Each structure stands twice: as structure tokens, then as C-alpha cells.
Structure 1
Amino acid sequence: MGKIKSPATISTQFNIDLATLDKLGVVNVLLNTDTLVFIDPLLLEESSHIEVSDGAAQSYRQRFSQIIKLLSVSKEENDIAWRNAKRLFKFSEVSWTCLGYGTSVRGSGFGKDLISTTLETARQIVSLGVEDVDLFMALALFEEGIGPDRISDMTTNIIIHDLVKFSQTINKSLQLPTKQFKVENTVYDLVENPYSSQPLLFVPNDIVRDLPIASDWSDISRVVRENEELRERVNNHVGEIWANMSKKQKEQLKNRH
């Protein structure tokens, strides 16, 4: 991993006191390289920031609820329901939060092959779970190759508009100059990262964890274990969302008859 000669943080670049950022609950990220933390989706509901505990947590649940709805009615690969589920599974690289393992401000995201294999796994889980809700809790959606960096990018994609709202709330206090940036199909006034000329999204410090880092060869097994444990927790959480969704659908069907 290369080294950044002169790392710049939010506090140093914009001359903001660290205590101010801490009081606002903002991660003091590195602006010209990735900061070695990741967004853990399991922390969203417990955040002290309403844009996250209400908005982002709901966005996350809604995304996976929409995916199960679409896959449960899909009859074959590439029909309209399948294509829309695939669209919801496109988690591109996210650089605006400055989080991750890289030495340039970029994300990892889900590539085409990873999207296809994960969506196929989701389809199989849904087809089994529609008949037996308990199976949602036992079957793993995310398999090897999906670690904290990708889980963080996935979550950021899903909650991007909630992070924008959080960033705008924070900047009401910081009063930093803004520019207009297009986020998906909406234009927002956001702070610019001077090192990338892209928008800078502030990240709440109560939804991040440290990325697992191996200090030497003997430490690799610990990192692998931590990645597996995170993946299992996220799988269980998605399974719980899908199980609750399926139970609601079955209750609605019963009430119609």
C-alpha cells in the first residue's frame, strides 16, 4: 500500500477544531486517501442522528424488502421483475465518503460478476424462503469475496440520500462553502472535496467500525475471521428483514380469503 505524503483531513483542510467535529458526531476523514473505517449497516438503527436512525435505517430495510418482492414474483431470469431486482443490486464504487482500504479516494463496489452471483443466490434463497420463512435466517446471501469494504459501499449506495441530508445538517453548523452536485437524479448543495473535485459526504462516527487490518502474516487469520463474522451478522440481518417481509405477505394473503 502506497503512502500519502501529506494527508489532509476535514479538520486540517477546513481549519475546524477536532472537538467541534467530535461534538457534531462526524468522522474526521482523510480527504486525499481512504480512511480505514467502514459503514456497518447494523449500526444504522442505533445512530444518534435522526437522518440515520430513521432515514437511513428505513432506506436499508426498504431496499431489501423491494428486492424480495421482485424476486418472489420473478418467473425467469431477465424478466421485468428480475431486471428491476438487478437494478436495485447495483452497488457502484463510492468515493464521496473517503472510506475504505485504498490509497486513492475511490470505492470497491460490486462488479458485474459479483452482482450476478449474489442476485442468483438471492433468487434461490427467496424461492426456498417463500415456502419456509425460517430458511431466510439460515441461508447466506453474501458469500466469500464480500467483506467490510464492499458491505460499506453497498450500504452507502442504499443510504446515499440520507447521508446527503446528514451532510447538509452538519454544514448548517460548519458553514463551509458549497457547490451544486448531482446525486443520482437530484441536485444538492454540498461541500466539495478539493482533492477530487467531487462532493464530500460527512459520515456519522457512530455508524463506522475500524477496517480489519493485518499487521503481519500471523495476523491474517484474525482478519479473515473478523470478515466472516461481519458477513454472517449482515446475512442474519438481511434474513430477518426478508423473513418479516414474507410473514407480512402471508398474513395479507390470509386476510384476503
Structure 2
Amino acid sequence: MNSLYSSFKLDYTNPECDFLNINLDEDTPLFVDAYAMSRSSNAHMKLGHETLRFFMSETLVGLKNYIQDPTAINSLWEPKCFSEPKGTGIGLAKNGHKGRGSHDVKCQQITTALRNSKAVETGDLEDLEELLLVIEGIGSDTISDITLNISKKHFIEYTQEKCKKLNIPVSQTKEKIRYFCSVDKTWKSDKFDLPHLEVGLEKILSYLIFIPNEILEKNMAYGCNYFYTNVATPVYVDQNLAAGSSFIYSLKNGTKRVNKKEMRKDDKYKGGKKRMDNFISDNPKSLKEYRKTVADKRYKKNQDKKNPKKDDSE
């Protein structure tokens, strides 16, 4: 594999080499997990997540005032600010690296969905990753791209720090790179000193942005199906038990149970992002419950896979 580490002769056993070994020929199917950023011990990633939260806060304020002034939300969600990030080496591009003419984030679709979201209306949504639970058309690849675009300067600063420690040569980018500035509450662009290598099938010289392995996932901590199964379904079960519904059956010892398979055939208890949006607005504590229980367990499970514990007997 033509890779970042081999090109710069990096030693993968070096503790400082804790970032993705970018495949220079094609993208690696991994995504930036915003929840993992919030749990990271790396200062740049923590600041990156703070920027995400600030962006979401500004988004919610803009949505609240949308009728009187739609410019605020439109300036935050400018399509030109959400093109697929270059130089990261992650995503779903099948041929070469993305970032050159591949699909961009559909900002209008997202803002329209947010304006119609009951969870947004009731003020329950707070974090960017929560959009995965309620907005149709947003998957891991899209939320990863959004995360990278908003917090790009923090990833750039992380990259610059690694280059300095590992003696990786850098040069100024020819193009300006956009990022969201939480201090000035606006999008900015600038040129940065970054490492450059030839990427993709066409071997085009491109700047590179490093991403810590600890925040890269195939399956993010947040997911609508996980929310439905682990948070919404237990509530539906309790509702059916209390109502004495037709989905209830009894064990030999008299214990009452709910036939979840049959229950889920009823439209009232089916999953899906629209229904979970309504569920969250009706159950305001459900998002915090998911974050503290399900997301935390999924995060730890993902980290354990990356850092398997050695058998003490070895």
C-alpha cells in the first residue's frame, strides 16, 4: 500500500504515530465520530468538539429566529463551507480520494429538516452527533464531513503539532481552507502550512490533514437504530404493560412480557428518524440517557477493539 507512513518513513511503533496511516491511493471507509472527540484526551480534539457544540448552539438560535431573520441560519449552513474535506483519506470514495467533485453536504435539506424537527422546537437537541437520530438522509459519512468542516482548524493544528514532533516537512497550501471560528462566530478561510503528498489514482499533489485513530470509527456511537432499540423500545414496552395491550403475554410463573416483534408492527411503535424525533420531544430526558448509557458503552466497545487487552497469562 502506498501510504503516509511509508512516504515519510514513520515508525508505526512510535507513540506519536497515533493518527491514521492514510492510504494515498484510495479512501479508507472510516468516519470521524464527534462523540469520540468529546471523550478524547487530546486538547485539539476537545477544542474541536467545543466548536461543534458552539456551532450547534448558534444553529438553534438561528432556527428560533428564522422567520424574522433567515440570514443567520443560512450564513452558518452555507453550501460552499460543507464540501467534502480534502486530504483526510477517509470516506466512501471507491476510486481515489474524495474532495474533488464528489457529493457535498445538502445544507438546505438539513436546515429544512431542522426547522420541522419537534426535538429542535422543544430545545432537546444540543450536540451535532444527535442529528444522526432525527434527520433523514444524514448518515455517518455526512456527519463526519460536517464535523471535519466545522472543526477543521483544530485538525490542522493537530497535524502541525505532529509534523513538528515527527520532523515531517510542510509547505503552505496553494488554496485557502475554510473553517468555522467560534470566537468571531463566522466562517473564515486561510492558507496553512501542511504536509503534501500525491494522492489518488491520478497522483495529484494534495495537502494532508491527520486524524487521531481514537476518533475514527466504522460504526459511530450515535445511531437511530441503537436509540430506538435501547431507549425508545423499553419506554414502549412499559407503556404497553401499563395499558394492558394485546401485545402482552404471560410466562409460566405469571410474569407479564411484551411481544416486541408484534409490538413493532404497530405504526405507533415503529422506529425511524421521524418517529424518534417525536419520541425525543415527548421524552426530553431520553437524549441524556442515550449519551450516558448507550453511547458510552458503544464508545468503550469501539476503543476496546482498537486496544485489545492482552491475556495476563501470556
TM-score between both structures, scaled by the size of structure 2: 0.58
How many Å apart are 1:227 and its aligned residue? Answer: 6.2
2:8 corresponds to 1:14 = yes
**Given the alignment, which residue of 164, 171, 188 partners 2:156?**
164
Q: Distance in 1 between matches of 2:26 and 2:71?
A: 40
Percent identity of equivalent pairs: 23
Amino acid at match of 2:30: V
Q: Counterparts of 2:195 and 2:154 in 1: how far apart (Å)?
A: 15
Map of 2:216 onto structure 1: 208
| 8 Å Cα contact 1:191-1:199 kept in structure 2 | yes
Q: How does 1:224-239 map onto structure 2 within 5 Å?
A: 228-229=224-225
Structure 2 counterpart of 1:207, one-letter code: I
The equivalent residue for 1:60 is: 52
Compared CA separation, residues 174 and 121, structure 1 to 2 (3 A): same
Structure 1 residues 82, 173: CA separation in 2 closer, same or farther (over 3 Å shift)?
A: closer
Give 1:91 deviation, angstroms. 2.0
Deviation of 1:229 after TM superposition, in Å, equals 3.9
Map 1:119-198 onto structure 2 (within 5 A): 119-125=111-117, 129-130=120-121, 132-134=122-124, 140-143=133-136, 145-181=137-173, 182-184=176-178, 185-195=189-199, 196-198=204-206
For residue 115 of structure 1, report the CA deviation from its aligned partner. Answer: 2.0
Structure 1 residue 203 displacement after superposition: 0.6
Whose relative contact order is higher, 1 or 2, with alpha carbons under 8 Å and at least 6 apart? 1
Q: Check the 8 A contact 1:90/1:115 in 2, yes or no.
A: no
Task: Pick which of 181-190 and 166-175 moved more.
Answer: 181-190
Distance in 1 (alpha carbons) for counterparts of 2:219 and 2:205: 26
Conserved 8 A contact 1:147-1:231: no
- In the TM superposition, what is the alpha-carbon distance from 1:148 to its structure 2 partner? 1.4
Give me the whole-angstrom Cα distance separating, in 1, the residues matched to 2:146 and 2:191: 22
Q: Of the candidates 71, 78, 95, which is equivalent to residue 86 of structure 2?
A: 95
Give the match for residue 21 of structure 2. 28
Equivalent residue of 2:138, what SS? coil
Give the residue type in structure 2 aligned to 1:35: T
TM-superposed CA distance for 1:209, in Å, is 0.8
What residue identity is the alignment partner of 1:45? S
Aligned residue number for residue 251 of structure 1: none
Structure 1's unaligned 5+ residue stretches are 1-6, 213-225, 244-257
- Output the CA distance in 1 between the equivalents of 2:226 and 2:110: 17
8 Å CA contact retained: 2:59, 2:73? no
The aligned length equals 212
Distance, in Å, in 2 between the alignment partners of 1:163 and 1:157 is: 10
Change (3 A) 1:230 1:87: farther
The answer to whether the 8 A contact 1:48-1:206 is kept is no
| Residue 88 of structure 2 is aligned to residue 80 of structure 1 | no
Give the Cα–Cα distance (whole angstroms) in 1 for the partners of residues 55 and 23 of structure 2.
29
Q: 1:231 to 1:180 in 2, by over 3 A?
A: farther
Matches within 5 A, 1:99-110: 99-102=90-93, 103-107=95-99, 110=104
Q: Structure 1 121/188 Cα, relative in aligned 2: closer, same or farther at 3 Å?
A: same
Listed one character per residue, the Cα deviations across residues 171-214 of structure 1 (whole Å, up to 9, x for unaligned) are 111111111013222221110122232210011111011269xx
The alignment partner of 1:197 has SS state of strand
Which structure is larger by alpha-carbon Rg, 1 or 2? 2
TM-score, normalised to structure 1, is 0.70
> 1:105 Cα shift?
0.7
Letter of the 2:210 partner, please give it.
Answer: F
**What SS does the corresponding residue of 1:194 show, helix, strand or coil?**
strand
Q: Distance in 1 between matches of 2:52 and 2:80?
A: 12
